[in-house]
């Protein structure tokens, strides 16, 4: 039988794994809560609050280091918050059975981020007018390469549309949708990977706030779920963030695949057997 | 030219630090409140069951009327619930305040484009917190 103490202790390794694999705590916790018989909509809405905690906690260190790009984040947040508000509103009105399948389907997009890592050239002679007008560029000090990397953003409008979809899924499913956001930022907006993942973390907190604002008074935010999840995932994510650099990429990838496949199976099973 | 660029970077870095501290302080206070709330919950009820009863759900007309009631102590039937509710409220307010600080920052440097963009985010969030 799940209680708050057990949920807190489950949330610590979940936050840890979420930080290591980039999945985020909520994507893993929601199927676990569902398997314990917590109504899916309550699980989704309550997890959204823990997304604010983990993303704000880890974003703080990246912002301090100057890797996140605040202008890019602010611009993209316009799109993600509208998506999140719309997504959360959809969740409050549709039958829960669809949400199991949407959740399983969206988890598949987590695999998108595993593309070949090739060296981008981050400065262009032909940055599009809108990205240029929006001052979407920046620089950061790359510790691994021991040099300052300057970059310019491309395709601001298309990237904005991509982020609207990310926000829609995040609000609807109570997750950060980090992998999807990173994919849009790296492949469409052409941000360097480090800037992309740290800026995405920054945006996730705001997207989660927009989703939470819809769930706040829908009668779905349960304190006995939110409190232990917020504590546990934040502690876990903090530890995960500290040891992330010490782990080998290959072992992380295997772990990631096993978890995602398990979660997809779990949600499909619950959706198909729901009475 | 380089001097100007350096000065600009310094300003940006101060702003980034301010945001960073706001985030870490907000999350830390919130987590502390949740820990106190959970401990008090066990002290009062002698169990830590996940409960679907009404008092465990956040309720109210909208976020701002909820805040007023919270500070007036209208949710204070039980200190454990009060602490947990405060913790969640602080967590929700953290990114909201972050947008507010960003507006002030862009207004200070008279960056009209980003004042408008940040205001847009702030207004949409405020509307979604009001409209319920």
Nearest CA in chain B to A218: B59
Chain A (123-142) residues lying within 8 Å, Cβ to Cβ, of chain B = 133-135
In Å, the largest CA–CA distance within chain A is 61
List the single residue in A64, A71, A222 with the smallest CB-CB distance to B56.
Answer: A222
pLDDT score at A244: 65
Q: Do B38 and A77 touch (CB under 8 A)?
A: no
Contacts of the segment A166-169: beta carbons below 8 A, 24+ positions apart:
A166/A80, A166/A83, A166/A207, A167/A79, A167/A80, A167/A81, A167/A82, A167/A83, A167/A84, A167/A86, A167/A87, A167/A207, A167/A210, A168/A83, A168/A84, A168/A86, A168/A87, A169/A83, A169/A87, A169/A102, A169/A106, A169/A109
pLDDT 10s digits, B80-116: 999 999 999 999 999 999 999 999 989 988 899 999 9
Chain A (219-238) residues lying within 8 Å, Cβ to Cβ, of chain B = 219-228, 230-231, 234
pLDDT score at A136: 92
CA torsion through residues A182, A74, A68, A157, sign: positive
- Where is pLDDT greater, at A202 or A115? A202
CA A108 to chain CA centroid, Å, is 14
pLDDT of A116 over the 60 cut: no
pLDDT score at A59: 72
- How far apart (Å, rounded) are the C-alpha atoms in residues A41 and A33? 11
The average pLDDT across B58-79 equals: 79
Q: Do A4 and B50 touch (CB under 8 A)?
A: yes
**What are phi and psi for residue A128, nearest 5 degrees?**
-65, 155
pLDDT score at B1: 44
Mean pLDDT of chain A: 86
- Where is pLDDT greater, at A22 or B78? B78
Mean pLDDT of chain B: 85
- How far apart (Å, rounded) are the C-alpha atoms in residues A174 and A45? 6
pLDDT interval class at A122 (50, 70, 90): low
pLDDT score at B132: 64
A77 CB within 8 Å of a chain B CB: yes
Cβ-contact A170, A176 below 8 angstroms: yes
Alpha helices in chain A (DSSP H): 4-21, 25-35, 40-65, 70-93, 96-107, 129-133, 156-173, 178-187, 193-215, 223-243, 249-273
pLDDT interval class at B76 (50, 70, 90): low
pLDDT of B24 over the 60 cut: yes
The average pLDDT across A103-107 equals: 92
pLDDT of A88 over the 90 cut: yes
The average pLDDT across A90-111 equals: 91
pLDDT score at A181: 87
pLDDT of A33 over the 70 cut: yes
ipTM: 0.86
The average pLDDT across A219-239 equals: 91
Cβ-contact A213, B63 below 8 angstroms: yes
- How far apart (Å, rounded) are the C-alpha atoms in residues B11 and A203? 22
| Helix or strand run (H / E) with residue A138 | strand A137-142
List the structure tokens of A70.
């605040």
The average pLDDT across B30-59 equals: 90
- Where is pLDDT greater, at B31 or A216? B31
pLDDT score at A218: 85
Identify the residue among B9, B14, B34, B49 best suited for mutation to test binding to A, counting A beta carbons within 10 A and taking the highest.
B34
Tell me which of A163-177, A207-221, B28-42 is least confident: A207-221
Q: Do A214 and B128 touch (CB under 8 A)?
A: yes
pLDDT of B67 over the 50 cut: yes
**What are phi and psi for residue A151, nearest 5 degrees?**
-145, 155
- How far apart (Å, rounded) are the C-alpha atoms in residues A101 and A272? 9
Tell me which of A11-15, A246-250, B34-38 is least confident: A246-250
B56 CB within 8 Å of a chain A CB: yes
List the structure tokens of B49.
């069951």
pLDDT of B39 over the 90 cut: yes
- Where is pLDDT greater, at B53 or A246? B53
Nearest CA in chain A to B100: A74
pLDDT interval class at B69 (50, 70, 90): confident
pLDDT of A253 over the 50 cut: yes
The average pLDDT across A141-146 equals: 77
Percent of chain A whose predicted confidence (pLDDT) is above 90: 44
pLDDT of A202 over the 70 cut: yes
Residue A141's DSSP bridge partners are A148
Chain A (198-217) residues lying within 8 Å, Cβ to Cβ, of chain B = 205-206, 208-210, 212-214, 216-217
Work out the burial of residue A243: count CB atoms within 10 Å of its CB; fewer than 13 is exposed, 13-18 middle, 19 or more buried.
exposed
- How far apart (Å, rounded) are the C-alpha atoms in residues A127 and B110? 24
């Amino acid at each position: 039988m799940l209680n708050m103490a057990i949920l807190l202790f489950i949330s610590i390794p979940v936050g840890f794994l979420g930080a290591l694999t980039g999945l985020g705590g909520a994507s893993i916790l929601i199927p676990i809560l569902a398997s314990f018989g917590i109504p899916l909509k309550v699980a989704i809405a309550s997890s959204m609050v823990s997304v604010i905690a983990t993303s704000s906690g880890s974003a703080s260190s990246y912002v301090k280091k100057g890797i996140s790009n605040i202008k890019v984040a602010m611009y993209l947040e316009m799109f993600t918050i509208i998506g999140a508000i719309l997504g959360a509103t959809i969740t409050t009105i549709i039958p829960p059975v669809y949400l199991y399948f949407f959740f399983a389907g969206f988890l598949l997009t987590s695999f998108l981020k595993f593309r070949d890592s090739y060296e981008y050239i981050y400065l262009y002679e032909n940055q599009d007018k809108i990205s240029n007008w929006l001052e979407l560029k920046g620089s950061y000090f790359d510790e691994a390469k021991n040099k300052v990397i300057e970059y310019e953003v491309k395709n601001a409008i298309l990237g904005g549309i991509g982020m609207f979809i990310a926000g829609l899924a995040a609000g609807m499913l109570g997750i950060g949708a980090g992998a999807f956001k990173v994919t849009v930022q790296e492949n469409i907006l052409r941000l360097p990977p480090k800037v992309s993942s740290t800026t995405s973390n920054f945006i996730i907190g705001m997207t989660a706030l927009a989703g939470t604002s819809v769930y706040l008074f829908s009668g779905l935010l349960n304190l006995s779920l939110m409190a232990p999840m917020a504590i546990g995932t934040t502690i876990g994510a903090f530890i995960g963030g500290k040891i992330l650099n010490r782990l080998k990429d290959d072992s992380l990838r295997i772990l990631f695949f096993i978890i995602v496949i398990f979660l997809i199976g779990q949600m499909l099973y619950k959706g198909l057997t729901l009475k | 030219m380089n001097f100007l660029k350096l000065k600009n970077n310094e300003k940006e870095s101060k702003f980034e630090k301010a945001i960073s501290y706001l985030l870490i302080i907000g999350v830390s206070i919130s987590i502390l409140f949740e820990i106190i709330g959970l401990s008090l919950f066990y002290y009062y009820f002698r169990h830590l069951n996940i409960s679907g009863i009404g008092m465990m759900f956040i309720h109210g007309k909208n976020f701002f009327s909820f805040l007023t009631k919270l500070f007036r102590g209208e949710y204070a039937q039980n200190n454990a619930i009060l602490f947990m509710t405060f913790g969640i409220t602080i967590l929700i307010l953290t990114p909201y305040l972050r947008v507010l600080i960003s507006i002030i920052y862009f207004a200070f440097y008279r960056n009209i484009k980003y004042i408008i963009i940040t205001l847009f985010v702030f207004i949409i969030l405020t509307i979604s917190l009001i409209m319920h």
